[in-house]
Amino acid sequence: MSTKPNNVLDPDQWVDQYVDYLYRFAVARVRDHHTALDLVQETLLAGLKARDRYRGVAAERTWLTGILKNKIVDFYRRGRRELLLGDLVDQDSEVPLAFNERGHWQAGPTTPGEWKEKQIADMDRDEFWKRFQACAEHLPEQTRRVFVMREVDDVPASEICEALGITAQNFWTIMHRARASLRKCLEANWFSVT
């Protein structure tokens, strides 16, 4: 039985224990196999260099995931000048303004239907999250990137704006479009069939 204290890392075990998880985490966010591998490698190297600062407050995997999140933000910060043509398309015609000036849903074609109690309970099922992921995959790249950074990785809005070179107004517009598109997709592909 090992008497290793909680705050001592074991980098010799990182590849066997954490690389698959870190790779899946990265590829889900950057959508590129080679970039994900590079980010995981950078994460392991950064972890190795910073291992003397590890205090044992979080588990090794959680600590390494935190480093990876920072590497992903840095990746977007480095590449923010590269705009994808699909991100330049004006999407206003696709998602009409659904909120009034007070932030409440306006009556109209974008007003969401009421979800039933069973539908909300079903959100805990794996099938729901598979459908959610499929809906998110159909978002434009920049929209998906902003949504995942904010809602999945919990990156503050100001950091996202800085990393991606967007304004706060643009950030909130992108988030509105992402939420509206995801809701529309889920209503069509999940809630209508449950």
| pLDDT for the residue numbered 97 | 53
Contact between residue 18 and residue 64 where contact means Cβ atoms under 8 Å apart:
yes
* Per-residue CA distances from 125 to 81, 103, 130, 179, 194 (Å): 39, 30, 9, 20, 12
All domains in the chain, ordered by first residue: 11-78 (1.10.1740), 85-191 (1.10.10.10)
Residues in the chain: 194
CA distance 24 to 40: 10
Instruction: Please indicate whether residue 96 or residue 40 has the higher confidence score (pLDDT).
Output: 40
Rounded mean pLDDT, 184-189: 80
Determine the pLDDT at residue 134.
84
- pLDDT digits over 95-146, tens only? 445 555 555 555 555 455 555 565 556 555 677 778 888 888 889 988 998 9
Selection from 30, 184, 34, 21 nearest residue 109 by Cα = 184
Burial label for 71, CB within 10 Å (0-12, 13-18, 19+), is buried
Q: Which of 12-16, 59-63, 123-127 has the lowest mean pLDDT?
A: 123-127
Instruction: Determine contact, residues 72/38, Cβ cutoff 8 Å.
Output: no
Give mean pLDDT, residues 61-82: 83
Give CA angle at 92 (171, 77), nearest 5°. Answer: 30
Class of residue 110 by CB neighbours under 10 A (exposed 0-12, middle 13-18, buried 19+): middle
- % of the chain beyond a pLDDT of 70: 69
Greatest mean pLDDT among 11-15, 29-33, 61-65: 61-65
